[in-house]
A = this chain, B = another copy of it.
Amino acid sequence: MKSVLCDLQDDEVASLNSSKRGMFFKKGQTICHEDSYPQNVYCITGGMVKLIQTGTDGKEQIVHFTSEGDTIGYREVLGGDMYSSSAVAMEDSAMCSIPRALFISYVRKNPKVSFKVIQRFSKELETAERKIISITQKPVPERIAQSLLLLEESYGYEDDGMTLNIILKRDELASIAGTTRETATRFLRTFERMKIIELTGKKIKILDNEKLKKSARLQK
């Protein structure tokens, strides 16, 4: 197990192994519900899971993607909050659950683990803040370009070295960029016409990384 718990001591690893429980979710299934009380922290051992929040009018907004090695619900468990987002399997996914109290005790008792959590939170906070700026100040096409770069960073390429190694529906991509399905489609098409990307079904091939970066105006 990579992630925050990789610095546990031997006896703790043993106790963890006996307490954790393997689980399996089919594509589309919900792992945990927004606004429910977290009983467990989930470590994804396979597949891909999206964290979504439901907005005012029921529109879903993607908060995060998580995949193998990521942990779900630890923010809420450590903060003592309800789940702030629902976790939904985007493909058949496997994970193991760790009881809430146990997870907390690991974090509390292991300075190394604590510090790792701190560093992770710190990164997440930075990302969130950047996203706020981006959404309030950048026009949609830039945000889409930026989202593509984000996906590149997180999931990398397929063997051809150009095709993004993740498959998203248009609404999902739209949700990352903070726009609508239709608008996302339109600008993806624009990028395609500009020979920056190539679309084949849901696959996105990045033809011109430089231009894409330019389109995202990523000075920083």
Contact = CB atoms under 8 A, between A and B. Distances in A.
Interface of A: 35, 53, 55-57, 59, 61, 63, 75-76, 78-81, 84-85, 107-109, 111, 114-115, 117-119, 121-126, 128-133, 135-138, 178, 217, 219-220
Contacts of A76: 122
11 contacts: A55-B133, A59-B137, A78-B118, A78-B122, A79-B119, A79-B126, A84-B130, A107-B115, A111-B111, A114-B115, A136-B178
- How many copies, total? 2
Would you call the interface of chain A mostly helix, strand, loop, or mixed?
A: helix
B118 A61 contact: no
B80 A119 contact: yes
Contact of A126 (B57, B84, B126, B220): B84
B124 A115 contact: no
A80 B55 CA distance: 33
A219 B54 CA distance: 12
B126 A125 contact: no
B132 A61 contact: yes
A61 B76 CA distance: 27
A123 B118 CA distance: 13
Contact of A125 (B75, B108, B133): B75
Given A78-B119, A135-B135, 17 more contacts: A53-B129, A55-B138, A61-B136, A63-B132, A79-B119, A79-B122, A79-B126, A84-B126, A84-B129, A84-B130, A111-B111, A114-B114, A117-B118, A125-B128, A128-B129, A132-B132, A135-B136
A159 to B, nearest CB: 34
Contacts of A35: 220
